[in-house]
């Protein structure tokens, strides 16, 4: 439909006319959805638009909120007259934006990640690609030793790192698979010299393979030790990071080194956390956003399904509050922040709205972010899967692979290509 931009009591609207079946001409106006507030509207502009019932909080076409109303959704930007002063200001703002740009990215794994995927993700405007090493998964799948699997993972990752550098994507090497047989990094036994020294040999290989080729080195991004009735941060975590950083710096003085407070690197861990006593000019701090777990991890490890977002005590404002605390910590201590993972299992009702609210908060506070994950090894996190039976009770939802055309993935592409929605 075509309409004319008008303004009434400070609100932008589209005025339009249409012909009824009785050949009667009717005039009406609709408010423009807040999502389009970034456009420079001028009274009298003509614009093409669609209309739909939406709420005023979420990305159009994805919202399932009950408090929706009819909005106009423009399908093109208004065309304005060229003005030299406006062009110069816009050009300066664009240059400043590029100089201060924060990356938007996704995680990729060896079960499906290839050079062709890197090229595709470049088309989606992925700016940082978190390449996750999963040697234990490979060892189990192909029945080979962990050491052999680790070397194969390194060679796979190197192919992707090289392709990232060709495509202009910043590669992040993520090594979090710190387990040996039945001993995992969540057990006190792992944090003894025997297992730590074995881990350092792996980090030596990472430094040798990727020196001066990667944007960030990530080692152990969810540090925690599970005890009988609680979870704690590993007491030797700072020592572990110091030694790991020293190994990397033998070969690479440019790449950022990631640090994560325990337990689990949640945004709530930053409240009273003091920075690690590590002296280096290229450090970046990390956190993961999976709060609240009863929503994002519902249906996993015995958790009940059917929980909907927003929750009575957790919504977009809660996310902003959590991120604001991290931003305050960042400003106080002067460290860059990387949001290394976030998502909700795909059978969670309104999971796209949750992801959108997380991205909006990250963009608002200038955090680099990385969605988990692009074609991961577990379908529950895969953006190409969507709810196959949306009319059923949410506790009965199950998933189906719809490929790259899911609304969830299209929403992510929008944010990758357009950045902040604020």
Domains of the chain plus CATH, in order, are: 2-74 (no CATH), 103-418 (3.20.20.80)
The answer, yes or no, to whether residue 179 has pLDDT greater than 60, is yes
Q: How far apart are CA 361 and CA 327, in angstroms?
A: 10
User: Which H or E element spans position 323?
Assistant: helix 316-333
What are residue 24's phi and psi, to 5 degrees? Answer: -95, 135
pLDDT for the residue 96: 44
Partner residues linked to 341 by β-bridges: 288
**Looking at residues 174-195, what average pLDDT do you find?**
94
CA dihedral 344, 276, 223, 262 (to 10 degrees): -60
Residue 53 pLDDT level (bands cut at 50, 70, 90): confident
Greatest extent of the chain over all pairs of C-alpha atoms, in Å: 85
pLDDT for the residue 41: 81
The answer, yes or no, to whether residue 94 has pLDDT greater than 70, is no
**Higher local confidence (pLDDT), 166 or 34:** 166
Give CA separation, 406 vs 350, 367, 381, 387, 399, in Å: 14, 26, 13, 10, 12
The answer to whether residues 71 and 54 touch, using CB atoms and an 8 Å cutoff, is yes
Task: Give the 3-state DSSP-derived string for 205-245, with helices as H, strands as E and coil as C.
Answer: HHHHHHCCCCCEEEECCCCCEECCCCEECCCCHHHHHHHHH
pLDDT for the residue 419: 63
Lowest mean pLDDT among 35-39, 117-121, 378-382, 408-412: 35-39
The answer, yes or no, to whether residue 26 has pLDDT greater than 90, is no
**Looking at residues 271-299, what average pLDDT do you find?**
97
The answer, yes or no, to whether residue 39 has pLDDT greater than 80, is no
User: Which H or E element spans position 155?
Assistant: helix 146-167
pLDDT for the residue 32: 85
**Higher local confidence (pLDDT), 73 or 185:** 185
Q: What is the pLDDT of residues 310-351, one digit of tens each?
A: 999 999 999 999 999 999 999 999 999 999 999 999 999 999
Average pLDDT over the chain reads: 89
**Higher local confidence (pLDDT), 87 or 250:** 250
Lowest mean pLDDT among 69-83, 90-104, 174-188: 90-104
Q: What is the pLDDT of residues 348-403, one digit of tens each?
A: 999 999 999 999 999 999 999 999 999 998 999 999 999 999 999 999 999 999 99
pLDDT for the residue 93: 47
Nearest one of 162, 103, 154 to 132, comparing CA atoms: 154
Q: How far apart are CA 129 and CA 53, in angstroms?
A: 36
Tokens read off for 281: 């000019």
Tokens read off for 261: 């407070």
């Amino acid at each position: 439909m075509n309409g004319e931009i008008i303004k009434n009591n400070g609100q932008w609207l589209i005025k339009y006319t249409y012909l009824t079946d009785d050949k009667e001409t009717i005039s009406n106006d609709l408010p423009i959805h807040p999502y389009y507030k970034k456009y420079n509207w001028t009274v009298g502009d003509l614009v093409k638009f669609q209309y739909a019932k939406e709420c005023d909080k979420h990305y159009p076409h994805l919202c399932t909120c009950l408090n929706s109303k009819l909005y106009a959704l423009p399908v093109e930007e208004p065309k304005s007259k060229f003005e030299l002063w406006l062009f110069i200001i816009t050009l300066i703002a664009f240059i400043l934006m590029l100089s201060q740009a924060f990356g938007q990215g996704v995680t990729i794994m060896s079960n499906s990640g290839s050079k062709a995927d890197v090229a595709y993700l470049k088309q989606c405007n992925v700016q940082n690609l978190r390449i996750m090493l999963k040697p234990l998964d490979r060892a189990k799948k192909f029945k080979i030793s962990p050491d052999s699997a680790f070397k194969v993972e390194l060679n796979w990752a190197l192919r992707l790192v090289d392709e990232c550098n060709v495509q202009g994507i910043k590669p992040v090497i993520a090594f979090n698979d710190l387990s040996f047989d039945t001993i995992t990094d969540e057990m006190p036994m792992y944090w003894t010299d025997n297992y730590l020294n074995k881990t350092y040999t792996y980090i030596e290989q990472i430094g040798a393979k990727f020196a001066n080729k990667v944007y960030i080195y990530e080692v152990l991004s969810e540090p925690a030790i599970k005890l009988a009735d609680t979870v704690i941060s590993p007491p030797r975590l700072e020592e572990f990071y110091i030694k790991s950083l020293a190994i990397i710096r033998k070969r690479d003085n440019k790449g950022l080194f990631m640090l994560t407070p325990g337990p689990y690197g949640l945004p709530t861990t930053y409240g009273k956390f003091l920075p690690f006593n590590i002296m280096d000019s290229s450090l970046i701090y990390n956190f993961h956003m999976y709060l609240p777990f009863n929503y994002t991890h519902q249906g996993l490890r015995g958790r009940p399904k059917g929980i909907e977002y927003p929750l009575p005590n957790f919504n977009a404002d809660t996310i902003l509050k959590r991120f604001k605390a991290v931003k305050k910590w960042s400003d106080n201590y002067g460290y860059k922040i990387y949001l290394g993972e976030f998502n909700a299992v795909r059978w969670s009702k309104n999971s796209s709205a949750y992801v959108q609210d997380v991205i909006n908060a990250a963009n608002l506070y200038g955090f680099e972010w990385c969605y988990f994950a692009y074609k991961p090894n577990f379908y529950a996190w895969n953006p190409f899967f969507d709810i196959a039976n949306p009319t059923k009770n949410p506790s009965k939802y199950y998933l189906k692979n719809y490929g790259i055309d899911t609304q969830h993935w299209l929403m992510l592409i929008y944010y990758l290509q357009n950045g902040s929605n604020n």
